[in-house]
Amino acid sequence: MKVIVCGAGQVGSNIARYLASEGNNVTVIDHSPELIQRISDTLDVQAMVGHASHPDVLEAAGAGETDMIIAVTQIDEINMVACEVAHALFKVPTKIARVRNQSYLKPIWADLFSRDHMPIDVIISPEIAVARAIARRLQVPGAFDMIPLADGKVRVVGVLCTETCPVLHTPLRQLTGLFPDLGLEVVAIIRNDRSFIPGGDDQMLPGDEVYFACDNRHLNRAMTAFGHEEVEARRIIILGGGNIGLCLAEELEAKYPHVTARIIEMNRSRAQFVAQRLSRTMVLHGDGLDPEILEEANVRATETVVAVTNDDEGNILSSLLAKRHGAKRAITLINKASYTSLVSPLGIDAVVSPRAITVSNILQHVRRGRIRAVHSLRDGFAEVIEAEALETSAVVNTPLREVKLPSGVIVGAIVRGDEVIIPRPATVIRPKDRVIILATAGQVKKVEKMFAVRLEFF
């Protein structure tokens, strides 16, 4: 597949890295010579300096033979025009644009991106996606990551194993005997910054970060089995009233009426604007690093503080300060990938990466066939993929023990109608089953070759 990526920033470079690693023909366009040089030095892609929405630049990038354009520059208007030019002049079949300004995304303007007006197939809004991801994590406060799949029937959850975890030093194959009705499958372990798919003889150790798939109906029991009995957060402080903070508050007001939220915003005019947009959320003007403001927001009675300003360092420090003053948990937005592994030992409970969430959303539309969902895990060490099995698939009507999955690939769950099946060696996949698969980054290409025609999720 030939893909043009417009924008060589964090999102663009990561998308290009994913696609190039899987053998796609990728061209990256950016107006910055420095970013293009970095891309050229580190990735097996074509890279060119230029304005991504200019017809001559797109033509030079091979837009006439391109299957997909992904426009993720820092400027919404460039992204939109690049897609429009790609459609009008080069008939590019699939056009994806990142749009951050919420003014373009209001329901009243829903027809803006239709075929008759601005023919963009997929609009990616990082702010809305991040807000929804945070709201989901608030439902399971003991988790550092939580991914809903199969219409919410399955959850892939990331948890930290502490010294009090009841299943430490237990071979994973024994979990079924210990919890026969629990319905969970450990699909990945991160230990000392090394990630791997565990086997039945592997054990969980203190400090491990574990991803497991489970039946949503048993999620609370599964969390208890891992030593996490935290209740769903109902009192929240949001540090930062920018686009993400506002989107999060709006999401909570619309879908989580039992949650009480307060926003602390440093800019007075922005605080006034946010207050006018919200009906049930108290907005305080002040600095999240000011202990007096935290006390005014009743931080001692707060279950979760969510730091979502544009300043990574400020988010980290304000999260730690809020916990010192009584907040039970901290969810912290961090843009710099190099910070992610450093903050957990400091006491931050969960990190939110806008880059990773945006990449996941884009990958969902890059994957071909009967793809239902794609989620990138922890700096791209693996992808969780939800796919629909076809009658022609070689894995259908065959016990999993006889299906030769590549190393680094594991089936985490199977959904058949309303039934969630945690796979065992004798489990048989049926046509129309939804199959939840985890594949490590180095093995995605092998999975593509194995399932391209059969499960058809590429």
Last-in-domain residue among 187, 217, 247? 217
According to the model, what pLDDT value does residue 447 have? 64
In which domain, by residue range, is 417 found? 359-451
Supply the CATH number for residue 431's domain. Answer: 3.30.70.1450
Does some domain include residue 456? no
3-state DSSP call for residue 366? helix
Does some domain include residue 458? no
Same domain, 67 and 99: yes
**pLDDT, tens digit (0-9, with 9 covering 90-100), for 285-332:** 999 999 999 999 999 999 999 999 999 999 999 999 999 999 999 999
User: CA 349 to CA 332: how far, in whole Å?
Assistant: 8
Kindly report the backbone phi and psi dihedral angles of residue 22, in degrees, each rounded to the nearest multiple of 5, phi listed first.
Answer: -100, 15
Q: Which amino acid is at 370?
A: R
Same domain, 27 and 115: yes
Last-in-domain residue among 217, 250, 272? 217
**pLDDT, tens digit (0-9, with 9 covering 90-100), for 131-171:** 999 998 898 888 999 999 999 999 999 999 999 899 999 99
3-state DSSP call for residue 75? coil
Q: Which amino acid is at 437?
A: I
Does some domain include residue 259? yes
Number of domains in the chain: 4
Last-in-domain residue among 124, 158, 173? 124
Same domain, 28 and 110: yes
Confidence label for 21 from pLDDT (cuts 50, 70 and 90): confident
Helix (H) or strand (E) holding 360: helix 354-366
Beta bridge partners of 388: 434
The CA-to-CA distance between both ends of the chain, in Å, stands at 11
Nearest to 264 by CA among 305, 233, 323: 305
Supply the CATH number for residue 71's domain. Answer: 3.40.50.720
DSSP string for 114-170: STTSS--SEEE-HHHHHHHHHHHHHHSTTEEEEEEETTTTEEEEEEE--TT-TTTT-
Range with the poorest average pLDDT among 102-106, 107-111, 438-442: 107-111
Same domain, 213 and 242: no
Nearest to 167 by CA among 206, 138, 212: 206
pLDDT value at 47 more than 80: yes
Q: Which amino acid is at 80?
A: M
**What's the mean pLDDT when you consider all of the chain?**
90
pLDDT value at 403 more than 90: no
Same domain, 79 and 107: yes
Same domain, 263 and 156: no
